[in-house]
Structure 1
Amino acid sequence: MGSGGYVIHSSVIIDPSAKIASDVTIGAYSIIGPGVEIGRGTVIGAHVQLVKNVKIGEYNQISAYSVLGGDPAHRMHQPEDETYLIIGNHNVIHEYAVFHRGAKVCGGVTRIGDYNYIMCYVHIGHDSQVMSHTTFVNNVNIAGSVVIEDYAYMGAYSFCFQRTRVGSSAMLTPRMMVSRNILPYMIVKEDQVCGVNRIGMQRRGYSEEQISRVKSLYKVICREKLLLTEVKAKLVQSEDVFAHEFLAFFNHGSFLRK
């Protein structure tokens, strides 16, 4: 027990450069490395390693045996490169999670937003951007420079290839291999888009009328046998805000349609 509200086990190793706010709990045998910052109210379990340059916000829960802020798995990374892992507020990170810092050649920062729920054995690679309110079920693997948008649901054992993107409120069923971008609000099963994530949209407070509009756009994009240029032309002509959200997503590269 330390002064100022700290609850830090006597076996914890803390680098002198680390900055730890008040009301932080750190369990036995954890290691807090150089350049680490931990915001108030955060609870860190036993045997956690915060390797280097990890910036953690407020009221996060990080469970036992997680390793956050390790070197990026990138051949061009150099030991002297100053790169970072930045984690927001109110995240739950379960046991054995592994998040890498960014690689300098790819931007140098891996970011985790707020209110994410991340289960056991999840890996998040260098320079990936996980936004807010996402759910990662056990054993999800995210390669480098991946973007996971708000409220996305990543089923167990899902894998995202490098530089892919999962749209807002998309839902991936277990064991999905994501090699192309996933459109917002879609449910994807066995490498096929199979409908709109109605329940996910309802939980976010979308009305039935809004959900119906997304369903209509889903049919245009994924079920009508149109060329991509024809789909884009229809979306450009539409005044629907969801149409423009999908249209903006087209600029991020190829995406799963069928």
Structure 2
Amino acid sequence: MARIHPTALVDPGAELDDSVEVGAYTLVGAQVRIGAGTTVGAHCVIEGRTTIGRDNRVFQFCSLGAAPQDKKYAGEPTALEIGDGNTIREFCTFNRGTAQDAGVTRLGDGNWIMAYVHLAHDCQVGSHTILANNATLAGHVHLGDWAIVGGLTGVHQFCKIGAHVMVGFASAVTQDVPPFMLVDGNPLAVRGFNAEGLRRRGFGPARIGAVKQMHRLLYRQGKTLEQARTEIGALASSTPEAAADVALMLDFLAGASRGIAR
């Protein structure tokens, strides 16, 4: 049997692995599924079509799976999906998706989510990200793997932030941020590329050199975006070790919908 505090209210329809722990005064709804090894703290509300994977730690006072804060929402059966191995600190709010998008808000694996973080409807958050206290993602935001979002930062709806990006403290993200970049401010500005983060993740000199060149082509040489994309594509043959990094950048630039931060 799952270890459920006597004061917690778990709907009989909820599916909890036998190893799940649920803290005092927490409410778990009928359509919730929680995987092995996950712990849920006190005074949480988990509702709607919410799936939480294995080995997550949800701290007290979180609201997961509530209806989206979207005036168009009319009760459609949308969902929230949380992967494995995430840490979700106090007072986080993750809402379900909407019928106007994928219908699912997603959080991947191994993320470190600090207190008071908000994931609005239809956000798609990758794996191994860090969202510091009070980071706020508006609806339809996409956040790539290994990205870091500083505290008190707001991200405008429909923005995309690429993999390995670092967004500084108290920034306002209103345009798409290409992979690997280092940005901050209000208005947002690109300050460089996330060299230290890449080193910590095992990027060798050749790959870091290629990322540095991509940064130069996009931001330091006065090229149009199309010119920069063409020259970035050529890096895959001159630096084969970075072919996947080049492909990541080109895919992101091709899908940018709000213009890239410059």
C-alpha displacement of 1:245: 2.1
Which residue pairs with 1:255 in the alignment? Answer: 260
**One-letter code of the match for 2:260?**
F
Partner of 2:247: 244
Instruction: Give me the whole-angstrom Cα distance separating, in 2, the residues matched to 1:237 and 1:149.
Output: 24
Decide which moves more: 131-140 or 70-79.
Answer: 70-79
Identity of aligned residues (%): 33
What's the counterpart of residue 213 of structure 1? 210
Unpaired stretches in structure 2, ≥5 consecutive residues: none
Gaps of 5+ in 1: none
Runs of 4+ with >4 A deviation: none
Residue 105 of structure 1 aligns to a residue whose secondary structure is: coil
Output aligned runs, 1:25-174, within 5 Å.
Answer: 25-79=21-75, 81-174=76-169
CA distance in 2, matches of 1:225, 1:8: 60
Q: Give, in whole Å, the separation in 1 of the partners of 2:213 and 2:235.
A: 12
Deviation at 1:216, TM superposition (A): 1.2
What do you get for the CA RMSD once the two structures are aligned? 1.1
When normalised by structure 2's length, the TM-score is 0.93
Aligned letter for 1:178? V
Looking at structure 2, the residues matched to 228 and 209 of structure 1 have their Cα atoms a distance apart, in angstroms, of: 24
Query: Which range moved further: 241-250 or 54-63?
Result: 241-250
CA distance in 2, matches of 1:143, 1:203: 29
Task: Give the conservation status (yes or no) of the 8 Å contact 2:51–2:80.
Answer: yes
Point out the more displaced range, 232-241 or 216-225: 232-241
Please state how far the C-alpha of 1:243 moved relative to its aligned partner.
Answer: 2.8
Contact 1:235 1:244 survives alignment (8 Å): no
Q: C-alpha displacement at 1:228, in angstroms?
A: 1.5
Whether contact under 8 Å (2:46, 2:64) holds in the other structure is: yes
Alpha-carbon distance, 1:233 to partner: 2.2
Which sits farther off after the overlay, 116-125 or 193-202? Answer: 193-202
Q: TM-score w.r.t. structure 1 length?
A: 0.95
Partner Cα separation in structure 1 for residue 164 and residue 18 of structure 2: 35
Letter in 1 for 2:184: K
Contact 2:210 2:235 in 1 (8 A): no
1:247 shift after superposition = 1.5
Kindly state the Cα deviation for residue 98 of structure 1 after the two structures are TM-superposed: 0.1
Assess if the C-alpha contact under 8 Å between 1:20 and 1:38 holds in 2: yes
1:229 and 1:107 mapped to 2: Cα distance? 30
How far apart in 2 are the matches of 1:70 and 1:103?
Answer: 12
Structure 2 residue 192 is the aligned partner of structure 1 residue 195: yes
Q: Is 1:230 paired with 2:224?
A: no
Q: Give the letter for the 1:179 counterpart.
A: T
State the aligned residue count: 252
SS in 2 for 1:183: coil
What is the CA deviation profile of residues 228-256 of structure 1, one whole-angstrom value per residue up to 9, with x for unaligned ones? 12112222334252333222111222111
Amino acid across the alignment from 1:71? A
In structure 1, the residue corresponding to 2:190 is in which secondary structure?
Answer: strand
User: In 2, distance between residues paired with 1:125 and 1:31?
Assistant: 21
Read off the aligned partner of 1:134 and give its amino acid letter.
T
Post-superposition shift, 1:164?
A: 0.6
Residue 103 of structure 1: how far off its partner (Å)? 0.7
Q: In structure 2, what residue type is equivalent to 1:52? A: G
Amino acid at match of 2:141: V
